[in-house]
């Protein structure tokens, strides 16, 4: 019941369980084949079990390493309003959605040969000698099968956003500083593997619960 002096608030008893902490971390080619996810993005794989997967990924060189400034996830729909005479306002059914532009951006602080290859989308395989070459032709082999951001919620759950078939569309602009080290901003765009899944956007959001 409303009363004098009531201040509207979005706080609920569960609010602070749903706050995301820290900048999280970025990974490439996480093996999620054995993780079953329901339609709400939840999985029975616990945060503790997923942490083991992430630690193994770091050991295998699948981490993008240290970043600066956190990151930005964008999933922006391409929507067209159908023009019809006499329609003053948009109405339900008058908008058509064509696709989603899905990107994951961050700023890399670790300047490694593998990160150079990931940033330069058409870079050749890193060689022990002779340097690295960059092609002018994009092939399916240049796409990174997955790029993911993973972070922790305040209640201990882990959340993960996974982009499929990613390419860095920002190119390479490396800022070289006297202090603080070099930085490379990157923006990975998600792509569908083929035409068979055009009804879905090429990314997943997964929540890993705390052990019971």
Task: Give CA separation, 203 vs 5, 6, 40, 50, 206, in Å.
Answer: 44, 41, 14, 18, 10
Sign of CA dihedral 41, 46, 49, 52: positive
- The answer to the question of residue 12 being in a domain is no
**Beta strand 67-81 pairing with 95-108:** antiparallel
| Domain ranges, residue 106 | 21-208
- What are the structure tokens assigned to 168, written together? 């860095």
- The answer to the question of residue 89 being in a domain is yes
133 vs 197: CA distance, rounded Å: 33
- The answer to the question of residue 6 being in a domain is no
pLDDT, position 166: 96
- The answer to the question of residue 13 being in a domain is no
Scan for tokens 């922006």, then name that residue: 76
pLDDT, position 91: 92
pLDDT, position 184: 92
Scan for tokens 């058509």, then name that residue: 96
> Looking at residue 38, which CATH number applies to its domain?
2.30.110
Q: How many CB atoms lie within 10 A of CB 159?
A: 19
- What are the structure tokens assigned to 96, written together? 């058509």
pLDDT, position 39: 83
pLDDT, position 127: 61
Divide the 212 residues of the chain into consecutive groups of 10 and give the mean pLDDT of each group: 70 76 89 88 92 94 92 94 90 92 94 89 72 86 94 90 96 85 93 90 93 82
Burial-class residue 26 by CB neighbours within 10 Å (0-12, 13-18, 19+).
Answer: buried
What domain count does the chain have? 1
- The answer to the question of residue 5 being in a domain is no
């Amino acid at each position: 019941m409303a009363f004098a002096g009531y201040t509207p608030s979005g706080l609920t008893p569960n609010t602070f369980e749903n706050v995301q902490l820290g900048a999280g971390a970025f990974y490439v080619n996480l093996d999620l084949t054995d993780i079953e996810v329901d339609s709400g993005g939840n999985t029975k794989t616990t945060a503790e079990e997923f942490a083991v997967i992430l630690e193994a990924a770091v050991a295998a060189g699948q981490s993008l390493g240290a970043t600066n400034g956190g990151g930005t996830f964008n999933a922006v729909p391409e929507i067209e309003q159908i023009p019809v005479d006499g329609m003053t306002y948009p109405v339900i059914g008058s908008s058509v959605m064509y696709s989603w532009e899905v990107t994951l951006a961050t700023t890399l602080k670790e300047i490694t040969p593998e990160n150079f290859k990931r940033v330069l989308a058409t870079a050749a395989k890193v060689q022990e000698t002779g340097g690295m070459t960059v092609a002018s032709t994009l092939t399916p082999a240049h796409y990174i099968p997955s790029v993911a951001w993973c972070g922790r919620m305040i209640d201990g759950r882990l959340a993960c956003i996974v982009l499929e078939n990613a390419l860095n569309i920002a190119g390479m602009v490396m800022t070289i500083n006297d202090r603080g080290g070099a930085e490379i901003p990157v923006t990975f765009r998600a792509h569908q593997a083929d035409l068979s899944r055009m009804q879905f956007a090429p990314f997943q959001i997964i929540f890993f619960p705390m052990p019971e």
